[in-house]
Amino acid sequence: MPAYIQYHSTEPAVIVCPHCLGLPLHIDNVEPIWSAARIDIVYACDECGTEVRETMTQPERRH
């Protein structure tokens, strides 16, 4: 099962641009990293082009 399926119920947080007076960023790219069970989400600003990368890891499974 692909790693990104584990995150389908997680709502991404609203990220604001650190350079443009708090304008919200949009999701530019989602990069699943299969070997580490994590996802890198790349946010981009329409005004200045700043990119912010956020890494989400798969939570531990508890039985």
pLDDT of residue 14: 77
The encoded tokens of residue 44 equal 């981009």
Question: How sure is the predictor about 61, in pLDDT bands with cuts at 50, 70 and 90?
Answer: low
* 47 to 4, 19, 21, 26, 44: CA distances (angstroms): 29, 9, 11, 11, 9
More confident: 42 or 63: 42
| 7-43 residue pLDDT tens | 444 556 678 888 888 788 888 888 887 777 788 889 9
Does pTM surpass 0.75?
no
| AA identity, residue 7 | Y
